[in-house]
Amino acid sequence: MKAVFKIFGWVLLAALLVGGYAGYRVGFGKPFTITQLADRQALDFVLRNPELFTQIGLVDGTFLDTHSGKLADVGEDKRDADYARAERYLVELRQFDRVKLNTQDQITYDILEDQYTSGLAFKPFAWMSSEGLYPINPMWGTNVGMPTFMENGHTIKNAKTAENYVVRLEAMGPKLDAVTAEMQRQAQAGVVLPISLVERSIQISRDTIAGAAADNALVQKFTRDATPLKDLDAAKREALTARAVKAVETGIYPAYERMIAALEGVKAAAQTQGSGIGRLPQGAELYAIYLKQMTTTDYTAEQIHQLGLSEVARISAEMDTILKAQGLTRGTLAERMEILNKRPDQLFPNTDEGRAQILARYNEIMREIETRMPEYFNSIPPGQLRIERVPVALEKGAAGGSYQAAALDGSRPGTFYANLRDATETPRYSMRTLAYHEGVPGHHFQIDTALHLKGLPLIRQQTLYTAYAEGWGLYAERLAAEIGMYKDDPLGDLGRLQAEIFRAVRLVVDTGMHAKGWSREQAIAYMVANTGMAESDVTTEIERYMALPGQACAYKIGQLKILELRERAKTALGDRFNIKDFHSVVLDNGAVPLTVLERLVDAWIAKVKATPA
């Protein structure tokens, strides 16, 4: 149910400004406006999800903090309570007559309705977990999410947050056991992870508990962050450290061992399963729900599959032209890209020094493009972008790059995480495109803009739509090329096309596995053949799609829709088209479904045409 409510953030600040918890508690009459309803529902949800409350970062460690020593529940009761809450939220929402609302309030209405109905679409699947499709998996599962949250989400900034960190460590073992129980319940219903994900989950769990408890990253984080605290005396710190070690040694490690045993227990069933969810009970219906949720369109699996094949053919031809111009004329596309991947001039040393060089180069790329942004955007988001390495313990299951939004209290800037498990997997020609996608003008630009929007309902600053957000990320890659960032870097442009064909291939392999019965190996072979990517990278990606069906389709669908809307505006407005204003329409309303984005652009076109030149 993590995907049911994609509501975060500023709602808490608003509640505090109007009277804190008292305002929240007495405000549960019929709201005067839909904005008040949205804020109230979002706050209600956040207050019931302590990890999310902490990630928002506004009240942890203050006198208002009653949550930072707690963890959210796991299990059927939690799932059913979430369903009931979504149904209640819908009843409250539908007290408003949408037709009578103004344009901005209609957008808010549509977003709320989409959020709740999307979550409730999973209710017919009795085996669904409170933690989503696969509660244990090497990409998004609670087995990796909990240590990540504790290391990166829970900030230790005073004695209270230090003690609550340890309290959470003590609660982590029981939560991991609850997640294991969820996986076992699903297995009884015939829902089991594909075998490769079982094996990787086992390995990641073993890595997590390798070594002495005192040396575990969870304890080391406490020691590192608690030591400088001025309000935590040495005796108290030593006592808390001892509790942290005990929690890891007697609670967390045994829970992971039980999880590993449970995963070993489903191996036989997993061996007989395919890679996609079409094999699961009601699998075809489930995949259609995921596609609709992820793409915010009504495209069928077959339509998406055929679109992917068409895009792969187009982009392959463009890549072939550049490769031939570089003297790479012989062999398949994949073979020629493999030659490029091994060229010494494209590789960094697989050492700590090489990894430092990669991070330095990413920072250089960002500084270059930031100087060009005022030419294409009316406003520049103020938040700092930090570039860091993916934590070593999580590298095996992590994608090549990812973005984490800034904490709202300013304690953590927006961060582009680069996976540096093997420095040779980051060729120089690929770096621009990944940086533009994750940083500027991609995810950091879009998400930080949303965080600083003024005058919009608070939910609109925080709602996530994969097709919108990832579509913008891929659009940002294209925009960087259009403004000349690759002008003197043809191999960098080849890297852009490789990234684009990668997203087109995703359309093919995601639908191939989940709707057409493709095996994991068949999907890997297709992606390697059509992208030239390293097989290790491809394997990580394919297994990611296995764990979260439909999500991979959202990137390309979103990009194509934004480009389609831009061309529509250019055609309709001619020389009155302004790229800055178009970008404002796309970004300044927060994340929206693609159907809503289309209405916004059409309304802007009509407004410009109606305004005297």
pLDDT tens digits for range 484-518? 999 999 999 999 999 999 999 999 999 999 999 99
Whether 392 shows a pLDDT value over 60: the answer reads yes
Task: State pTM to two decimals.
Answer: 0.83
Q: If you average pLDDT over residues 132-142, what whole number do you get?
A: 94
Q: Is the pLDDT of residue 175 over 80?
A: yes
Reported as a pLDDT band with limits 50, 70 and 90, residue 30 is low
User: What pLDDT score does 4 carry?
Assistant: 32
Above 70 in pLDDT, residue 450? yes
Higher per-residue confidence, 476 vs 2: 476
Confidence (pLDDT) at 58? 76
Predicted confidence at residue 96, as pLDDT, reads 97
Size of the chain, expressed as the number of residues it contains: 613
| Least confident span in 466-480, 533-547, 588-602 | 533-547
**Residue 179 · residue 135 · CB < 8 Å:** yes
Q: Residue 261: CB partners within 8 Å, gap ≥ 6?
A: none
For residues 294 and 553, the answer to whether their CB atoms sit within 8 Å is yes
* Average pLDDT for 221-236: 96
pLDDT of residue 29: 58
pLDDT of 20 higher than 50: no
Mean per-residue pLDDT, 590-603: 94
Helices (H), 27-128: 34-47, 50-56, 76-93, 103-120
| 272 CB-near residues (< 8 Å, 6+ apart) | none
Residue 397: pLDDT band with limits 50, 70, 90: low
Residue-level pLDDT at 19: 37
Q: What is the mean pLDDT of residues 415-443?
A: 96
- Say if residue 25 is exposed, middle or buried (CB neighbours under 10 Å; 0-12, 13-18, 19+): exposed
Long-range interactions of 235-241: CB distance < 8 A, separation 24+: 236/159, 237/162, 240/162, 240/163, 240/166
Query: What is the C-alpha to C-alpha distance for residues 50 and 68, in angstroms, rounded to an integer?
Result: 6
For residue 8, pLDDT beyond 70? no
407 pLDDT more than 90: no
At residue 57, what are phi and psi to the nearest 5 degrees? 80, 25
- Is 301 within 8 Å of 511 (Cβ atoms)? yes
Rounded Cα gap, residues 168 and 172, in angstroms:
6
pLDDT score of 310 more than 60? yes
- Residue 59's pLDDT is what? 82
Q: Quote the pLDDT of residue 81.
A: 96
- Which whole number is the average pLDDT over 328-333? 93
Is the predicted pLDDT of residue 26 greater than 50, yes or no? no
3: pLDDT confidence band, cut at 50, 70 and 90? very low
Q: Which residues sit opposite 385 in a β-bridge?
A: 414
pLDDT of residue 12: 41
Banded model confidence at residue 93, pLDDT cuts 50, 70, 90: very high
Which pLDDT does position 205 carry in this prediction?
Answer: 96
Residues whose CB is less than 8 angstroms from the CB of residue 16 and which lie 6 or more positions away in sequence, other chains included: 58, 59, 64
- Paired residues of 402 in beta bridges: 417
Stronger pLDDT, 557 or 13, i.e. the higher one = 557
Q: Is the separation of the CB atoms in 24 and 47 below 8 Å?
A: yes
State mean pLDDT over 455-478.
87
Q: What's the pLDDT score for residue 159?
A: 95
Q: Average pLDDT, stretch 385-401?
A: 87
Whether 21 has a pLDDT exceeding 70, the answer reads: no
Q: What is the mean pLDDT of residues 361-390?
A: 96
Q: Is pLDDT of 405 > 50? A: yes
Residue 187: pLDDT over 90: yes
**Residue 18, pLDDT above cutoff 70:** no
Q: Which of 115, 113, 130 is nearest to 79 (CA)?
A: 130
pLDDT reported for residue 27:
45
pLDDT at 301 over 80: yes
Whether the CB-CB separation of 541 and 527 falls below 8 Å is answered with: yes
Per-residue pLDDT at 75 exceeds 50: yes
% of the chain exceeding 70 in pLDDT? 94
Q: Check residues 32 and 240 and name the one with the higher pLDDT.
A: 240
Kind of pairing between the strands at 401-404 and 414-418? antiparallel
- Look at residues 595, 593, 599 and name the one whose alpha carbon lies nearest to residue 6: 593
pLDDT above 50 for 91: yes
Find the mean pLDDT for residues 535-550: 92
Q: What pLDDT score does 536 carry?
A: 85
* H/E segment holding residue 357: helix 352-370
Residue 457 has pLDDT above 80, yes or no: no
Average pLDDT over residues 209-232: 96
CA atoms of 479 and 500, how far apart (whole Å): 13
Question: With 90 as the cut, is the pLDDT of residue 560 above it?
Answer: yes
Q: Which residue has the higher pLDDT, 47 or 351?
A: 351
